[in-house]
A and B are shown apart, each in its own frame.
Chain A
């Protein structure tokens, strides 16, 4: 008996038979009704839209250690730049044929503000502690030099110093710790901006080398600089109908939403912060607004609406959410929408004591004056937190 052809056919069938199962068709409508899991069905998806029970705006402090230095005044806003030097490089006046030339301060300009005006460099009356320095900072002492920054000359802004500063430099080189610091101020209305890196003191001198006079320059790098500005004015009272986001004071929003109605063990389908712009020019895609970024961080410390400074909020350094304003802004209803991570909402829902709210800030590098006025809980268009959640899958038995 020859079984091989039959066996072959059967084996082929055997090998091929499981294959249809790999591309099975799912029961969709026909069997779906048999998924019976109790009166709650397959779970309800609930959407809540709480408004803040606390909101205000705060400033991040009067000392700004960012990469932009601002000096001058803009109505109630006044700023000055503080500088410090760790060590000095000063030419010795005992060099053969030594002759002092120019002494000046070079500060690289930033194009953010160029409202030209006179800029003065002072020696400060005292040094400062960067962890606690605040407006108005150390008093201004000796005027070391003055110049008009009209931005007509390309390159760094050059502020000539009195030749007598050279003598002071020689002393400072011997004992750098005795130098309290320096302050740049711009009297009158108008703002000037500089870069925080690249400032230096320079001394030009002539000395004899191999019988010939030679002109050299020694530079001393400014090792610390930042600016102090006047406190936000008027200070927030917590009852304003509009909250300031951004602006020259870099104001940020502190918002707290009650999340007691969100169960702890749910699937978070949506967590969206919705802010309504109530006053001011809307977002302009053709302007520098396109580069602005909205950042959200969580607040760690309890706070009340009377708070005016960001430091009292204990804002987390890590960013919870960050979005380009042009992607977050909806022109149709002048709203800013930022998605918040669902796990944060769930954490706050399960441990309400950890819910101290959000801190929102605007990073607008090209126009630091730009601000958005957001409706507060006292307004008719308060901020909202759109939270949508679904119950966990109901049990099989």
Chain B
């Protein structure tokens, strides 16, 4: 039964949600370990796949899209809009015994998909690569004592255009043309206990030109099994650094960043009716040669993801309890950050480096609109990273992934049929 007033209320709520997403500042810091190197690696996937540990290379379906594999768009048959918000809480503990809790919200991705005649699907996406938001306050005693507050923003982002098509019943392919963008910006505010000294406001910017690279993806589907693979090309980016204060600045090219090639391999396997398992290995070939620096070294970024999903019942299946109809997901991942950071207390990497490993358990659920085109997915990630002995800090984090998927049918009101 149609309920026009209710439909209006829901559309208003959706509009409000998108307005909030658009207006909300990407508040927040990221891992304290993101104050150096390229920042905290981001998982760009929406909440549904985040709940499966991020294993999306083998995803496909009218609404089951992944940002890892462009081929996953091949089965989309309408217009889709998807946005994900990621509120998080972190508990940071230092070797000194002090702990703090920080909160932030980020937006790891947003995507629009349009199905065209001829089975061609195109899409445009914003994807967060790394996030280097941070804020620290530190007392300095080199020379005249001061207190330095540093507000860091930026990171690596991608603007992506995608095209995909199902070439044959078992074969799907897709291509991303992806612009590597972003920069790192730090505002330094230094104050002095001596009232005769004027606070200093300085800026540090590290940036590189926007350049594009390619990502190629394919999926092979057979009797409920899916294999997916992605290959990413590399790109060279000259990196420029600008140090500035009121009335003075210094700009220099500090090196050439070789954004490395990468790959992702994934599988989706049916375990039983409404139950499937997914797995993925993803790698980006960061190395020492990627960007020579005395403050950070690099290794390959690797993410191992596993997940199990109890899918929603097929359309037309008999009614059951609401909990039996809601899909449930559980998973986990193990992530090796590419950044190899200086040891705690060191001033650079000459005394050795420490790797950052991140592990998390993931959970999730979701609901689907009546038109089967939109939905709301939630994920919860509980994880840890850091090393109190070697890095001086450990972090425990809890992230709530919230993704909203809207189709053209949803927007027209079939949501309430």
Contacts and interface: CB of A to CB of B under 8 A. Distances in A.
A23 B296 CA distance: 31
Contact of B137 (A1, A28, A394): A28
B198 to A, nearest CB: 5
A265 B243 contact: yes
B357 interface: no
Interface string A16-32: 01101111111111111
A41 B347 contact: yes
Contacts of A395: 204, 206, 241, 243, 254, 295
Contacts of A76: none
Interface string B80-115: 000001011100111010111111111000000000
B103 A20 contact: yes
A14 B192 contact: no
Given A30-B99, A343-B247, A346-B247, A39 B404 contact: no
- The prevalent SS among residues of B at the interface is strand
A21 B105 contact: yes
Given A29-B98, A39-B347, A392-B244, A45 B322 contact: no
B76 to A, nearest CB: 23
Interface stretch (B23-31, B63-71, B123-131, B262-270): B23-31
Given A267-B200, A269-B200, A270-B198, A27 B32 contact: yes
Interface stretch (B140-148, B157-165, B170-178): B140-148
Contacts of A346: 247-248
A39 B347 CA distance: 5
A31 B293 contact: no
B391 interface: yes
Contacts of B206: 395-397
Contacts of A26: 29, 102, 135-137
Contacts of A46: 143-144
Contacts of B10: 7
B306 interface: no
A21 B404 contact: no
Contacts of A11: 13, 17, 376
A7 B20 contact: no
A36 interface: yes
A35 interface: yes
Given A15-B17, A266-B245, A10 B322 contact: no
Given A35-B36, A388-B197, A390-B200, A264 B143 contact: no
Given A27-B92, A27-B136, A29-B98, A47 B200 contact: no
Contacts of B101: 25
B98 A30 contact: yes
Given A7-B376, A18-B24, A392 B243 contact: yes
B190 interface: yes
A23 B200 contact: no
Given A267-B245, A343-B247, A393-B202, A31 B348 contact: no
Contacts of B391: 34
Contacts of A386: 196
A11 B415 CA distance: 15
A381 interface: no
Interface in A320-375: 342-343, 346, 350
A302 interface: no
B144 A22 contact: no
A34 B142 contact: no
Interface in A29-72: 29-47
Interface of B: 6, 10, 13, 16-17, 20-21, 24-25, 27-29, 32-33, 35-37, 85, 87-89, 92-94, 96, 98-106, 134-138, 140, 142-146, 148, 150, 184, 186, 188, 190, 192, 196-204, 206, 239, 241, 243-250, 254-255, 291, 293-296, 319, 322, 325, 341-342, 344-348, 367, 376, 378, 391-393, 400, 402, 404
8 contacts: A18-B20, A29-B94, A29-B100, A38-B294, A41-B142, A266-B245, A267-B246, A346-B247
Given A21-B105, A397-B291, 11 more contacts: A14-B17, A34-B136, A34-B392, A36-B347, A38-B295, A45-B144, A45-B190, A47-B144, A267-B245, A390-B190, A393-B186
Interface of A: 1, 3-4, 6-7, 10-11, 13-15, 17-18, 20-47, 264-270, 272, 342-343, 346, 350, 386, 388, 390, 392-397
8 closest pairs, A vs B, by CB?
Answer: A21-B105, A31-B32, A32-B138, A392-B243, A267-B245, A45-B144, A267-B200, A393-B204
